[in-house]
Amino acid sequence: MEKTTEKAEKKQAEIFDVWIKMQKEYMDTMTRSQKELMDNWMEASKKFQESLSNLDGGHAGKPGKEMLNVFSTWLNTMVNSSKILTEEGLKIQEAWKTTVEKQMSAGKEIFKGFSEYSGQATSR
Protein backbone atom coordinates (compact mmCIF):
# COMPACT_ATOMS: atom_id res chain seq x y z
CA MET A 1 0.00 0.00 0.00
CA GLU A 2 2.83 2.34 0.92
CA LYS A 3 4.59 1.88 -2.44
CA THR A 4 1.33 2.54 -4.28
CA THR A 5 0.95 5.84 -2.41
CA GLU A 6 4.55 6.80 -3.22
CA LYS A 7 3.98 5.98 -6.90
CA ALA A 8 0.83 8.07 -6.96
CA GLU A 9 2.63 10.99 -5.29
CA LYS A 10 5.50 10.78 -7.80
CA LYS A 11 3.03 10.69 -10.69
CA GLN A 12 1.21 13.73 -9.28
CA ALA A 13 4.52 15.57 -8.89
CA GLU A 14 5.44 14.74 -12.50
CA ILE A 15 2.07 16.06 -13.72
CA PHE A 16 2.57 19.23 -11.68
CA ASP A 17 6.07 19.71 -13.15
CA VAL A 18 4.74 19.28 -16.70
CA TRP A 19 1.99 21.82 -16.00
CA ILE A 20 4.53 24.34 -14.66
CA LYS A 21 6.77 23.81 -17.70
CA MET A 22 3.83 24.36 -20.08
CA GLN A 23 2.83 27.57 -18.30
CA LYS A 24 6.38 28.90 -18.45
CA GLU A 25 6.70 28.07 -22.16
CA TYR A 26 3.36 29.79 -22.84
CA MET A 27 4.45 32.95 -21.04
CA ASP A 28 7.81 33.01 -22.81
CA THR A 29 6.18 32.55 -26.21
CA MET A 30 3.52 35.17 -25.52
CA THR A 31 6.08 37.77 -24.46
CA ARG A 32 8.37 37.04 -27.42
CA SER A 33 5.45 37.14 -29.89
CA GLN A 34 4.20 40.46 -28.53
CA LYS A 35 7.65 42.01 -28.92
CA GLU A 36 8.06 40.64 -32.46
CA LEU A 37 4.61 41.93 -33.44
CA MET A 38 5.38 45.46 -32.32
CA ASP A 39 8.85 45.43 -33.87
CA ASN A 40 7.36 44.32 -37.19
CA TRP A 41 4.57 46.90 -36.99
CA MET A 42 7.02 49.72 -36.32
CA GLU A 43 9.29 48.61 -39.16
CA ALA A 44 6.33 48.44 -41.57
CA SER A 45 5.19 51.91 -40.46
CA LYS A 46 8.64 53.35 -41.11
CA LYS A 47 8.78 51.79 -44.59
CA PHE A 48 5.30 53.12 -45.35
CA GLN A 49 6.35 56.59 -44.24
CA GLU A 50 9.49 56.46 -46.39
CA SER A 51 7.51 55.39 -49.45
CA LEU A 52 5.05 58.25 -48.94
CA SER A 53 7.78 60.82 -48.52
CA ASN A 54 9.32 59.69 -51.81
CA LEU A 55 6.05 60.22 -53.71
CA ASP A 56 6.51 63.97 -53.91
CA GLY A 57 9.66 63.67 -55.98
CA GLY A 58 11.44 66.51 -54.15
CA HIS A 59 9.45 69.40 -55.60
CA ALA A 60 9.50 72.03 -52.87
CA GLY A 61 6.50 74.25 -52.37
CA LYS A 62 3.87 71.81 -53.60
CA PRO A 63 0.79 71.36 -51.39
CA GLY A 64 1.43 67.63 -51.38
CA LYS A 65 4.80 68.13 -49.74
CA GLU A 66 3.24 70.02 -46.83
CA MET A 67 0.60 67.32 -46.43
CA LEU A 68 3.28 64.62 -46.42
CA ASN A 69 5.21 66.53 -43.75
CA VAL A 70 2.10 66.71 -41.55
CA PHE A 71 1.44 63.01 -42.14
CA SER A 72 5.08 62.14 -41.41
CA THR A 73 4.96 64.07 -38.13
CA TRP A 74 1.74 62.30 -37.15
CA LEU A 75 3.11 58.87 -38.13
CA ASN A 76 6.36 59.48 -36.21
CA THR A 77 4.34 60.42 -33.14
CA MET A 78 2.22 57.27 -33.47
CA VAL A 79 5.26 55.03 -33.95
CA ASN A 80 7.07 56.55 -30.97
CA SER A 81 3.97 56.32 -28.78
CA SER A 82 3.48 52.69 -29.83
CA LYS A 83 7.11 51.93 -29.07
CA ILE A 84 6.81 53.37 -25.57
CA LEU A 85 3.52 51.55 -25.01
CA THR A 86 5.05 48.28 -26.20
CA GLU A 87 8.14 48.65 -24.01
CA GLU A 88 6.02 49.38 -20.94
CA GLY A 89 3.66 46.54 -21.82
CA LEU A 90 6.58 44.14 -22.10
CA LYS A 91 7.84 45.27 -18.69
CA ILE A 92 4.42 44.51 -17.23
CA GLN A 93 4.35 41.12 -18.95
CA GLU A 94 7.81 40.29 -17.62
CA ALA A 95 6.76 41.29 -14.09
CA TRP A 96 3.59 39.22 -14.42
CA LYS A 97 5.60 36.26 -15.76
CA THR A 98 8.04 36.48 -12.85
CA THR A 99 5.17 36.66 -10.36
CA VAL A 100 3.42 33.64 -11.88
CA GLU A 101 6.69 31.68 -11.91
CA LYS A 102 7.18 32.44 -8.22
CA GLN A 103 3.60 31.38 -7.48
CA MET A 104 4.06 28.15 -9.43
CA SER A 105 7.29 27.46 -7.58
CA ALA A 106 5.60 28.11 -4.24
CA GLY A 107 2.71 25.88 -5.32
CA LYS A 108 5.16 23.13 -6.14
CA GLU A 109 6.77 23.44 -2.70
CA ILE A 110 3.34 23.36 -1.05
CA PHE A 111 2.44 20.31 -3.10
CA LYS A 112 5.69 18.58 -2.09
CA GLY A 113 5.11 19.42 1.58
CA PHE A 114 1.54 18.18 1.42
CA SER A 115 2.64 14.97 -0.30
CA GLU A 116 5.31 14.36 2.34
CA TYR A 117 2.86 15.10 5.14
CA SER A 118 0.18 12.81 3.68
CA GLY A 119 2.80 10.12 3.17
CA GLN A 120 3.79 10.36 6.82
CA ALA A 121 0.16 10.27 7.91
CA THR A 122 -0.61 7.14 5.89
CA SER A 123 2.46 5.32 7.17
CA ARG A 124 1.35 5.70 10.80
Residues near 105 by beta carbon (within 8 Å), at least 6 away in sequence: 20
- pLDDT over 70 (residue 1): no
Q: According to the model, what pLDDT value does residue 112 have?
A: 79
- Model confidence pTM above 0.75: no
pLDDT band at 44 (very low <50, low <70, confident <90, very high): confident
Q: According to the model, what pLDDT value does residue 59 have?
A: 54
Q: How far apart are CA 19 and CA 15, in angstroms?
A: 6
Buried b (16+ CB within 10 A) or exposed e, 7-22: eebeeeeeebeeebee
| 3-class DSSP state of 34 | helix
pLDDT band at 63 (very low <50, low <70, confident <90, very high): low
pLDDT band at 82 (very low <50, low <70, confident <90, very high): confident
The CA-based angle 122-123-124, given to 5 degrees, is: 90
* Mean pLDDT calculated for residue range 92-105: 84
Q: According to the model, what pLDDT value does residue 124 have?
A: 60
Report which of 40, 25, 28, 24 is spatially closest to residue 86, judged by C-alpha positions: 40
- pLDDT over 80 (residue 62): no
- pLDDT over 70 (residue 55): no
